Amino acid sequence: MKIGFIGLGIMGKPMAKNLLKAGYELTVFDRVPGPVQEVVTAGAKAASSGREVAEQSDIIITMLPNSPHVKAAVLGEGGVLEGMKAGKILIDMSSIAPLAAQEVAAKLAEKGIDMLDAPVSGGEPKAIEGTLSIMVGGKQTVFDTCLPVLQKLGSSVVLCGNIGAGNTTKLANQIIVALNIAALSEAMVLAAKSGVDPETVYKAIRGGLAGSTVMDAKAPMILAGNFKPGFRIELHIKDLANAIETGHDVGVPLPLTSQVMEMMQALKIDGKAGNDHSSLVQYYEKMAQFEARRKP
């Protein structure tokens, strides 16, 4: 089976490499030449456009920042749709608005092409490990065809419903992750400024009800003051914007999501849009004028 991969960013590049390690023949495209060359060195072929990727592949995977990028890459001039024919499959693993996924799928269906929307969770570390959580929307038969490929990228692959259900599930995930990081940040700054070592607090509570995968991933980064991005603030802002828009569309108020969105917007204005989302702690630290860091 020949696979095409478009979008070799923080997440896409390690995902593409994992497909190569699994033995798949891979054709890749990205507008930035550096990551393309790195993946080509690992065994992939380079293409000059999304259309060329599609022409050479049975399954085409896109991993792009947001809805407009996916629409342009798939439906735009020189895009994937121009190189696809009936029988080929598009798997969009970007995190986009559910309605955008449905719109792209409808255009593909006009040519007899199937699509899955399959956003992921786990950040760069799990992309590297191939242990992402993958939330999928689409037909059961298409899911079954693509499952062996997706299992090379994730340790959890779940069909959530029809097209758009994958991204709706991802929005729910992103709400929970954002609010967990905000709660963790608030608690760590409270502990630190109260004179209690925040690392000790983390060790004391991580095994109880407050413990979570989010805490175990982000508390060590907060304690070390390490905000190198695994998942950037600006991307989480994008996801929360999609969540709020979807909430408005279906009539679901999202007051906590809106609050943490404004925290992230404040960090963006403060020049931290490229930081990891664990830097939410810096919002609290600035207000409290106190840092929550591991004791030297």
The catalytic residue positions are 170
What are the residues whose beta carbons fall under 8 Å from the beta carbon of 46, sequence distance 6 or more? 27, 28, 29, 36, 37, 40
In Å, what is the CA distance from 30 to each residue of 53, 64, 235, 248? 10, 10, 18, 33
Tokens of 101: 């996924």
Distance of alpha carbon 108 from alpha carbon 93, whole angstroms: 16
Query: Is residue 220 packed enough to be buried (19+ CB in 10 Å), middle (13-18) or exposed (0-12)?
Result: middle
Stated length of the chain: 296
Beta-bridge partners for 5: 28, 61
β pairing state of 154-161 and 132-137: parallel
Distance of alpha carbon 174 from alpha carbon 30, whole angstroms: 26
